[in-house]
Amino acid sequence: AALREGYERFDPRAYLRNNYLPPRADFSSEEFVVPWKLRCLAETFASGEIRGRTLIDVGSGPTIYQLLSACDHFEEIVATDYLAVNREELGRWARGEPGAFDWSPFIQHVCKIEGRGEPWQDKERRLRERLRRILPIDVHRPEPLGAPLRPPADALLSAFCLEAVSPDRAAFVRALAHVGNLLRPGGHALLLGALGESFYLAGPARLPVVPLEESDVREALAAAGFALRELRSSVM
């Protein structure tokens, strides 16, 4: 209940400003977290192993950076978030409406690191075309979308969501198992997140985060029925 109340004050524009504009969105060095995240995603999808019809992104928030490398490998991307304000912010970007957040520095950077010489506008167009559904979700429900995803997702992505909406480690494990139900057997899950974080800010909202250690994540994945293929971390 306390978490839900916190999220009622979540301000998407303030969240975007804190995390996805300078100084945090600094592309000048791979030491910074934003280019690090984008590099991890680009390298992971470059293998070509993670692909299929549908990719579901859990707790998309107001952001699309996490989908830029992914979108080349799926016919449809399903974005999700608990908050209507975030789904509306995403919808504004997907429809190219005025006032939408400007993700072009991210798109340009991803095209650069992918190294295929693709014009960034082509990637932007492709993601907009494939981002067909933006659905409400609650990872604390065994059926997070309220109904099964049919057909189930071929891959699942989730960035900075599960630890940021779980009051404790047990809730984190349960949430992981719930979202795992959206994925087809043998499908891949790509999780990005923070270790050792206790809170973050989004305007007037101060959101608690369950501080996790690497071992907690390993144990949670095993408990939720996932086999861990690779774990990378970077110290901020």
Contact between 134 and ligand SAH per CB under 6 A: no
Minimum CB distance to ligand SAH smaller for 24 or for 125: 24
Binding test (CB under 6 A) with ligand SAH, winner from 59, 71, 77, 120:
59
Cβ 117 to ligand SAH shortest distance, Å: 27
Nearest one of 130, 123, 117 to 69, comparing CA atoms: 123
How many whole angstroms separate alpha carbon 155 and alpha carbon 180?
10
Give yes or no for residue 160 binding ligand SAH (CB under 6 A).
yes
Site membership for ligand SAH, residue 54 (CB under 6 A): no
Give the count of residues interacting with ligand SAH (CB under 6 A): 20
Residue type, 70: A
Cis amide bond preceding 151, omega within 30 = yes
CA 110: distance to chain centroid? 16
Task: Yes or no: say if 35 and 20 are a contact pair by the CB < 8 Å rule.
Answer: no
As a whole number of angstroms, the distance between CA 219 and CA 221 comes to 5
Closer to ligand SAH by CB, 57 or 124: give it: 57
Distance CA 51, CA 47 (A): 10
Query: In angstroms, rounded to a whole number, what is the distance separating the alpha carbons of residues 100 and 89?
Result: 7
Contacting residues for 121 by C-beta, under 8 A, at least 6 apart: none
The interface with ligand SAH within residues 167-226 (CB under 6 A) comprises none
Q: What is the pattern of x (binds ligand SAH, CB under 6 A) and - over residues 61-90?
A: x-x--x--------------xxx--x----
Judged by CB under 6 A, the residue of 43, 72, 118, 138 near ligand SAH is 138
CB of 81 to ligand SAH, least distance (A): 5
Task: Give the binding range for ligand SAH (CB under 6 A) out of 114-122, 138-146, 147-155, 220-228.
Answer: 138-146
Dihedral angle at the C-alpha atoms of 132, 136, 140, 146, nearest 10 degrees?
A: -90
If one asks whether residue 135 binds ligand SAH (CB under 6 A), the answer comes out as no
| 44 belongs to the binding site for ligand SAH (CB under 6 A) | no
CB of 113 to ligand SAH, least distance (A): 18
82 assigned ligand-binding residue: no
- Annotated ligand binding at 65? The verdict is yes
Q: Does 127 bind ligand SAH (CB under 6 A)?
A: no
156 phi and psi angles, rounded to 5 deg: -130, 140
Distance CA 193, CA 161 (A): 7
Q: Residue numbers of the site for ligand SAH (CB under 6 A)?
A: 7, 10, 59-61, 63, 66, 81-83, 86, 137-140, 159-161, 164-165
